[in-house]
Amino acid sequence: MDIHHDEWIEEQKRVDDTVDKVKRKEENLKASVELVKAEATEIRKNFWEDVTVNLDEPDDVAETHTSIRQQAELLSERERSYGHAEENVKTLRRLAYSPYFARIDFQEADEPLEKIYIGIASFINEKDEHLVYDWRAPISSIYYDGVPGPVSYQTPDGFREGEMTLKRQFLIRSGKIEAMFDTGMTIGDEMLQEMLGEKANTYMKNIVSTIQEEQNRIIRDAKSNLLFVQGAAGSGKTSAALQRIAFLLYHFRDSLQAEQIILFSPNKLFNSYISKVLPELGENNMQQTTFLDYAQSRLGPAFEVESLFEQFENRVNDELAEAVWRKEAIRLKGSKSFFNAVQSYAENVMNDGLMFRDIRFRGETLIGKETIAELFYSYGSSYSMPNRMNLVAKEILRKLAVLAKEQEKSEWVEAEMELLDREDYLKAYRHSQKGSKKEGIRFDSFDKEKGFLAKEIVNQHFARLKRMVKRYRFINLKSQYMDFLKKVPDFMDQPLLSFKTEEWSRIIKHTEEYMQKKRIYMEDLVPFLFLGDLITGKRSQTSMKHVFIDEIQDYSEAQLAYLKFLFPFSKFTMLGDINQTIYGFGQQNLLDSIVKLMGEERAEIVRLKKSYRSTLPITRFTKEILKGGEEIELFERDGDLPIVAVVPDKASQIELIAKQAKELAKESRSVAIIGKSMKECEEAYNYLSEKLEITLMGEKNTELTEGIILLPSYLAKGLEFDHVMILNASKERYTEESERTLLYTMCTRAMHHLYVISVGRPTHLLDDVPEEYYELRQY
Ligand SMILES: Nc1ncnc2c1ncn2[C@@H]1O[C@H](COP(=O)(O)OP(=O)(O)OP(=O)(O)O)[C@@H](O)[C@H]1O
């Protein structure tokens, strides 16, 4: 809709006026930030002068303690308000750049017309008038949900109704209106076109100005315990999830902190890719992790989890014998029945069969595993598991104290005492002074000195044992898990899928061998940790209020069940696309199994069908790679046809990529060459790096690099690039039907240009794509 020139001038005047006020406030705030900063520095500098330190009498010690605490509190209060004020300055700076992106005119019956301007944060003038409303304020919801005409929105005091007489969108940069549209639609396409036509960045941007109606449902849902979003590639799942976090932090600002929200993302690159969205909206980032990292932290140093890289490479490089048996093992160990079997088994061993370790010292058994087992079973099953283990640990520690005493007289202690050098001796001596009320205590007899030193030596050696006991390391979890694997058919509520006994024994053998190397397969991670948690009674994370899981289609049922177990009181938001499965757990009815697993009554399902990331020709092409991709809706954005380039050999592939990538890089800093596996990428890198400036992204990389990058499919998950080139999508390279979703995921990373290169005949997965949807180039 055309907007009259006068009106444009009027609006620009209002922008100028708002920016002016924002800048003035920023200046004032900056001055007070400096003041608070100076105060904090002063307190820190004079910390010890301003506290009363006197340790003569117990009363003085208490007073000193209080004085230090008060001073520390004062300091942290100042530092907090400094941090807070600095955040506000940053928000004001962003508002000065672009104060708002929308205006709606709203009229309630018998009330004057209100002009509501909406931006990334609210801005109030000295007369307490809202010059800008936060996009999350209740009234702003009309902008996202409604079209001009009768509208209503919910406030904490109930519904308000009225008429929206105007809906206007702005694109403002550096205080200048660059574009302005009046729209009769929910969110006008012109604005969206503007946004989507922009170039990719190494960081994701926020979408507050153009949130779509169905995305808004995800963002503003404050009620559901389980919110499940099934959305096509590029439909804005991740974007909506992040805006949702910002919304929740605003809506529940008195009761919800960013640390009480955790997001599980597919890999570390993705973590950094999304890390700026919330800070840009003036919010702190939630906790962010990958399932692997999270699990590794629960596992501790005893085992190292198979990396993302190994997991994928082992499976896709079919020449590895491992690929064959693992597919089935992964399916089984990731099933809910298997997870349930862990629980039944754990209940069973509460009565009999728990495995312990001897507590050994200097090659001898101090407390035998049988003794520990006896001790454990002496506490009946009426004790809760955490209590029972706690009591066992206490009893072991008590026994250790007695044994330590006995050790003091042993020969090895004498021998060590003789070997003590002056340094060690002094250390022991100083230690003897610790906690002593009278300073300057002396070893007044040789025996006393000897006795003391002996005790010190034994204590030092026993400290490690005590630590292990406190961490329940007397439980032999590894053997227990192996025992479980052997007995699992007895605990499953359905037969072991297609396994024959000897096949199952082979899997157990492989698992054991791997664990002997202190490694653990990804599919063993959940059953192993869960078994450990049930046996030790480890607590789950009850304080987490929201758990977000992105790329849910790559989670097994067991992983999901485990997350539910870990976060029993959390609300879950899950985002996924069954068409982007790359690990192939084969969950066809992902949604059904999730709802069943989570057992949620208040479950909400939102489907996002429209794909925004790519140009229309790219989406049309990628949609055809899928069987049953009809559900995906195209967003009208012009662009070139994708190119399928057939080259005769690998050397010509390298030549072509080098040439094309150089061309593309001239107009964009975001060019990605995506290979199926890392092995393939490394191979290409060896040649390409001689011809052009290129970065190979590996598992260790935690940040996306600008320019031309080379990365394997599983690291490209969730990311997007202006231009994408797919490495060798040939008939030989993509043979299996199950790789359809993998190829789809890779191709859908492209925003503006897509090149699929094939050495020889392209994969059959492209057979159904109509010829007119791409340009075929034979080299
Ligand atoms: N309402 C919107 N306004 C502007 N841009 C949008 C909107 N929704 C999505 N986008 C853009 O579309 C692209 C894809 O979004 P996003 O990565 O959130 O999708 P996704 O569903 O998580 O994708 P995938 O599953 O393929 O990883 C991003 O560039 C995002 O900025």
Pairing of strands 633-634, 610-611: parallel
From the CA of 580, give the closest atom in ligand 1.
25
The whole-number average pLDDT for the span 504-510 is 86
Q: Which helix (H) or strand (E) holds 18?
A: helix 5-45
Bridge partners of 606, per DSSP, are 229
From the CA of 577, give the closest atom in ligand 1.
25
The whole-number average pLDDT for the span 119-135 is 93
Most confident of 360-374, 443-457, 672-686: 672-686
The whole-number average pLDDT for the span 72-85 is 74
| Of 139-143, 147-151, 180-184, 745-749, the least confident | 180-184
Residues 262, 637 contacting (CB under 8 angstroms): no
Tokens 């066809």 belong to residue: 588
Q: Which helix (H) or strand (E) holds 118?
A: strand 114-119
Q: Which residues contact 46 (CB under 8 A, 6 or more apart)?
A: none
Q: Which residue has the higher pLDDT, 405 or 422?
A: 405
From the CA of 240, give the closest atom in ligand 1.
18
CA 7, distance to chain mean position in Å, is 46
Work out the number of other CB atoms within 10 angstroms of the CB of residue 510: 15
Q: Is the CB–ligand 1 distance for residue 237 below 6 Å?
A: yes
Work out the number of other CB atoms within 10 angstroms of the CB of residue 32: 14
Distance of CA 21 from the midpoint of ligand 1 (Å) = 34
The amino acid occupying position 380 is: G
Distance of CA 641 from the midpoint of ligand 1 (Å) = 21
Give me the pLDDT at residue 581, please: 73
Q: Is the CB–ligand 1 distance for residue 750 below 6 Å?
A: no
Q: Is the CB–ligand 1 distance for residue 188 below 6 Å?
A: no
Closest CA to ligand 1's atom 3: 210
Give me the pLDDT at residue 716, please: 92
From the CA of 718, give the closest atom in ligand 1.
27
Q: Is the CB–ligand 1 distance for residue 239 below 6 Å?
A: yes
The whole-number average pLDDT for the span 699-704 is 82
Instruction: Using the Cα atoms of residue 701, residue 703, residue 709 and residue 714 in order, give the sign of their dihedral.
Output: positive
From the CA of 576, give the closest atom in ligand 1.
25
The whole-number average pLDDT for the span 217-243 is 92
Tokens 């938001």 belong to residue: 573
Q: Which residue has the higher pLDDT, 387 or 325?
A: 387
Q: Is the CB–ligand 1 distance for residue 274 below 6 Å?
A: no
Residue to probe by mutation, ligand 1, list 270, 613, 631, most atoms within 8 Å of CB: 613
pTM: 0.87
Q: Which residues contact 23 (CB under 8 A, 6 or more apart)?
A: 92, 96
The whole-number average pLDDT for the span 603-609 is 89
What secondary structure does DSSP assign to 301-352, as a single string?
A: GG-EEPPHHHHHHHHH-TTSTHHHHHHHHHHHHTSHHHHHHHHHHHHHHTTS
- Of 264, 316, 325, 234, nearest to 584 by C-alpha is 316
Q: Which helix (H) or strand (E) holds 628?
A: none
Q: Within 13 Å of residue 18, how many CA atoms lie on the same side as its CB? A: 32
Pairing of strands 114-119, 304-305: unpaired
Instruction: Using the Cα atoms of residue 632, residue 638, residue 641 and residue 642 in order, give the sign of their dihedral.
Output: negative
Q: Which helix (H) or strand (E) holds 678?
A: helix 678-691
The Cα angle at residue 612 between residues 237 and 183, in degrees rounded to 5: 105
Q: What share of the chain is helix, strand, coil (3-state, %, to 5)?
A: 50, 15, 30
* Cα 539 from Cα 581, distance rounded (Å): 32
Bridge partners of 709, per DSSP, are 672, 695
Distance of CA 580 from the midpoint of ligand 1 (Å) = 15
Give me the pLDDT at residue 53, please: 66
Distance of CA 611 from the midpoint of ligand 1 (Å) = 8
From the CA of 749, give the closest atom in ligand 1.
26
Residue to probe by mutation, ligand 1, list 185, 207, 549, most atoms within 8 Å of CB: 207
Q: Is the CB–ligand 1 distance for residue 550 below 6 Å?
A: no
pLDDT at 442 over 60: no
Q: Which residue has the higher pLDDT, 709 or 383?
A: 709
* Cα 125 from Cα 102, distance rounded (Å): 19
Give the confidence band of 83 by pLDDT, cuts at 50, 70, 90: confident
From the CA of 719, give the closest atom in ligand 1.
27
Q: Is the CB–ligand 1 distance for residue 236 below 6 Å?
A: yes
Q: Is the CB–ligand 1 distance for residue 207 below 6 Å?
A: yes
Between helix 411-419 and helix 446-470 the angle, nearest 10°, is: 110
- Of 44, 45, 36, 35, nearest to 75 by C-alpha is 44
Give me the pLDDT at residue 173, please: 93
Instruction: Using the Cα atoms of residue 596, residue 599, residue 603 and residue 608 in order, give the sign of their dihedral.
Output: negative
Q: Is the CB–ligand 1 distance for residue 231 below 6 Å?
A: yes
The whole-number average pLDDT for the span 36-54 is 71
Tokens 């928000």 belong to residue: 91
Q: Is the CB–ligand 1 distance for residue 234 below 6 Å?
A: yes
Distance of CA 172 from the midpoint of ligand 1 (Å) = 21
Q: Within 13 Å of residue 274, how many CA atoms lie on the same side as its CB? A: 29
pLDDT at 233 over 60: yes
Residues 709, 691 contacting (CB under 8 angstroms): no
CA 168, distance to chain mean position in Å, is 36
* Cα 22 from Cα 126, distance rounded (Å): 11
Percent of the chain predicted with pLDDT > 90 = 49
Q: Is the CB–ligand 1 distance for residue 192 below 6 Å?
A: yes
Percent of the chain predicted with pLDDT > 70 = 90
Q: Cα(first)–Cα(last) distance of the chain, in Å? A: 47
Distance of CA 499 from the midpoint of ligand 1 (Å) = 42
Which residue positions form the known binding site for ATP? 231-238
* Cα 67 from Cα 482, distance rounded (Å): 56
| Of 167-171, 255-259, 307-311, 721-725, the least confident | 307-311
Distance of CA 234 from the midpoint of ligand 1 (Å) = 5
Residues 727, 676 contacting (CB under 8 angstroms): yes
What secondary structure does DSSP assign to 359-403, as a single string?
A: EEETTEEEE-HHHHHHHHHHS-TTS-HHHHHHHHHHHHHHHHHHH
Residues 579, 233 contacting (CB under 8 angstroms): yes
Pairing of strands 546-549, 261-264: parallel
E-state strands within 156-238: 158-173, 176-182, 226-231
Closest CA to ligand 1's atom 15: 236
DSSP type of residue 763: P
The whole-number average pLDDT for the span 442-455 is 69
Number of H helices, E strands in the chain: 28, 26
From the CA of 196, give the closest atom in ligand 1.
5
Averaged confidence pLDDT in the chain:
86
Distance of CA 145 from the midpoint of ligand 1 (Å) = 19
Distance of CA 610 from the midpoint of ligand 1 (Å) = 10
CA 162, distance to chain mean position in Å, is 41
Give me the pLDDT at residue 440, please: 47
* Cα 501 from Cα 295, distance rounded (Å): 30
* Cα 261 from Cα 269, distance rounded (Å): 20
The whole-number average pLDDT for the span 659-665 is 92
Burial of 691 (0-12, 13-18, 19+ CB in 10 A): middle
Q: Is the CB–ligand 1 distance for residue 195 below 6 Å?
A: yes
Give me the pLDDT at residue 2, please: 58
**Encoded tokens for 661:** 């990538």
Give me the pLDDT at residue 386, please: 81
Closest CA to ligand 1's atom 10: 236
Q: Which residue has the higher pLDDT, 108 or 313?
A: 108
**Encoded tokens for 470:** 């406190």
Residues 93, 164 contacting (CB under 8 angstroms): no
Q: Which residues contact 209 (CB under 8 A, 6 or more apart)?
A: 101, 102, 169, 171, 191, 195
Distance of CA 65 from the midpoint of ligand 1 (Å) = 54
**Encoded tokens for 80:** 């907090």
Q: Is the CB–ligand 1 distance for residue 748 below 6 Å?
A: yes
Closest CA to ligand 1's atom 16: 236
Cα Rg, the chain, nearest whole Å: 32
What is the number of residues in the chain?
779
Which residue positions form the known binding site? 231-238
Work out the number of other CB atoms within 10 angstroms of the CB of residue 640: 12
Question: Quick check: ipTM above 0.95?
Answer: yes
Closest CA to ligand 1's atom 12: 613
Distance of CA 735 from the midpoint of ligand 1 (Å) = 30
- Of 619, 616, 620, 609, nearest to 770 by C-alpha is 620
From the CA of 239, give the closest atom in ligand 1.
18
pLDDT at 213 over 60: yes
